[in-house]
Amino acid sequence: MEKIVLQKRELVGKKIKSLRKEDLVPSVIYNSKGESTNVSIDKRTAIQLYKIATSTTVLDVEIGKEKYKAIVKDFDIDPRTDNILHVAFFEINPKDSMIFTIPFTLEGVSPAVKNNLGILVQVLDSLTVRCTLENLVSNITLNVGNLEVPGQTISVNDIELPKNVELLHKKDATATIVTITQLQKIEVIEEEEEDEEVDDGTEVEEGEEGEEEASTEEGGEEEVKE
């Protein structure tokens, strides 16, 4: 578990700009009872959490003399600068059953992909479950080494969930996690080249051809008279 230290803050609203000048990120930690506490976190720690924390990363949080277990619920990011504007934490009661989103991790190599028979497509990247903290796992590992031909899939009902972990939505039981799709053949249609007319670069306007022929005939008559 990651250990972080948060500081209680009194500044709210526009006044929180002064926190950022001190390399602190305004944050909040709340719980299932609807209670919340305004806090701040060191900017470097916030950046590290943004890189490594997932929905199942449990944090040991210290706020003064108080200690909590929490997860990161949300990062508010400035789309122009990519700076972290705010972090929201959720306090976990180890005894309560809670809702978590557990990501899937794929391992192995699919023979269908290795032999260029198909493409592996991951349809579902995580699963929403309900469990207590002691039964929470950081991820669910799937081995794709048995996917040999296009059309084969791994669905949620094909895997064994960890002990005392149950699906939040029963309809997810039939959901596809990964599948092998068939390679699409790309046909290249070559257009037939039309016979190009030979062009000597000379343009003859309508009527010119007749005038040339007439001139030739007149010239011929003059030569005969001589």
Amino acid at 3: K
Instruction: Indicate whether 170 belongs to any domain.
Output: yes
Q: What is the pLDDT along the chain (226 residues), one digit of tens a residue?
A: 578 999 998 877 777 778 888 899 999 999 888 889 999 999 999 999 999 888 889 999 999 999 999 999 999 999 999 999 999 999 998 888 988 999 999 999 999 999 999 999 999 999 999 999 989 998 999 999 999 999 999 999 999 998 899 999 989 999 999 999 988 766 666 665 555 554 555 554 544 445 444 444 444 444 444 3
Look up the CATH number of the domain holding residue 53.
2.40.240.10
- Residue 205 within a domain: no
Specify whether 85 is located in the same domain as 102: no
Q: For the chain, what is the domain count?
A: 2
Integer angstrom CA distances of residue 147 from 83, 120, 150, 154, 160: 42, 9, 8, 8, 18
Task: List CB contacts of 134: < 8 A, sequence separation 6 or more.
Answer: 94
Q: Is residue 146 part of a domain?
A: yes
According to the model, what pLDDT value does residue 13 have?
Answer: 75
Segments forming the whole domain that contains residue 48: 2-92
Same domain, 67 and 134: no
Residues 82 and 102 in one domain: no
pLDDT at 145: 95
Regarding whether 64 and 109 lie in a shared domain, the answer is no
Q: Are 72 and 121 within one domain?
A: no
DSSP 65-95: TEEEEEEEEEEEE-TTT--EEEEEEEEE-TT
Answer whether residue 192 is part of any domain.
Answer: no
- For residues 75 and 105, state if they share a domain: no
**In a shared domain, residues 111 and 77:** no
Please report whether residue 18 resides in a domain.
yes
